[in-house]
Structure 1
Amino acid sequence: MAIKLIKISSIYFFIAVILGLIMSITHDYSFTPVHVHMNLLGWTSLTLAGILYHLFPQLEQSISGKIHFWLHNIGLPIMMVSLYLLISLENESFGIGAAIGSIITVIGVIVFVLNIFINLKKS
């Protein structure tokens, strides 16, 4: 799971960098919220979680580690696609998808934090 998180995070990084390049070329920065969230919740957070899961296998092997993995990787794409569509189509109905994806992701992060506090111990 640790390696999968790091690989998934690199995809978010790639997409965020390409989106940043497109915004710079076009001088249209309306997708900055998507760019920032992909970098922070996709690239940075998932990379760090992957490193922690690799360094501390008890985190990865716990049920909360698995729950975090799935919630984060279900919620974040829903949030990013919905936010992109909300901005690009200027259609507020995509706001519900962004909200649902955000809530799923936040629950995943809460589970991750609980996993750290419950299962990360000095060896």
Structure 2
Amino acid sequence: MARRMIVWSALYFVIGVVMGMAMSISKVYTFSPVHAHINLLGWVSMAIGGILYQLFPAAGNSLLGETHYWLHMSGIPLMMAGLAGLLYTENPGFIIATSLGGTFVVVGAILLFINAIRYMK
């Protein structure tokens, strides 16, 4: 689990810095919120989760750890696609994807918290 989270977090880091570079070059900052969320939720949060699961393997190998991983991994792309669509088109239909993805990430974060209490003593 730890390796998967850290590898995926590194990919999100690449996506985030490429987005930042593209926005700087183009001087179009429409997707700044997407860039910020990819860096925070994708790179930082997943890296920290991966490090915690490396330090506490029982937490990473638990059902809570696995569920946290999958909620995070499905929630981030869904939320970011919805947010990008909302920012680009202002179509309120994208609120559904943004909200659903955000809910997945929040529930995943709560599971990480419960997992920390349970296994990280």
Q: How many residues align?
A: 121
- Counterpart of 1:79 in structure 2 is 79
Q: Distance in 2 between matches of 1:44 and 1:8?
A: 11
| 1:20 to 2:20 alignment | yes
Q: Distance in 1 between matches of 2:53 and 2:39?
A: 20
- Runs of 5+ in structure 1 lacking a partner? none
| 1:93 to 2:93 alignment | yes
- Counterpart of 2:107 in structure 1 is 107
Provide the TM-score with structure 2 as the length reference.
Answer: 0.96
- Counterpart of 2:66 in structure 1 is 66
Amino acid at match of 1:90: E
Q: State the Cα deviation string for residues 69-94 of structure 1 (Å, max 9, x = none).
A: 11111111100111111112222211
- Counterpart of 1:35 in structure 2 is 35
Amino acid at match of 2:77: P
User: In structure 1, the residue corresponding to 2:115 is in which secondary structure?
Assistant: helix
TM alignment of 1:39-50, pairs within 5 A? 39-50=39-50
Q: Distance in 1 between matches of 2:58 and 2:120?
A: 7
Q: State the Cα deviation string for residues 6-41 of structure 1 (Å, max 9, x = none).
A: 111111111111110111111111111100100000
Q: Distance in 1 between matches of 2:118 and 2:51?
A: 18
Provide the TM-score with structure 1 as the length reference.
Answer: 0.94
Sequence identity of aligned pairs in percent? 44
Assess if the C-alpha contact under 8 Å between 2:56 and 2:119 holds in 1. Answer: no
Q: Distance in 2 between matches of 1:26 and 1:90?
A: 21
CA shift, 1:63, in A, is: 1.2
- Counterpart of 2:4 in structure 1 is 4
Structure 1 runs (4+) deviating above 6 angstroms are none
Amino acid at match of 2:37: H
Amino acid at match of 1:83: L
Amino acid at match of 1:16: G
CA shift, 1:111, in A, is: 0.4
- Counterpart of 1:57 in structure 2 is 57
Q: Distance in 2 between matches of 1:46 and 1:70?
A: 11
- Runs of 5+ in structure 2 lacking a partner? none
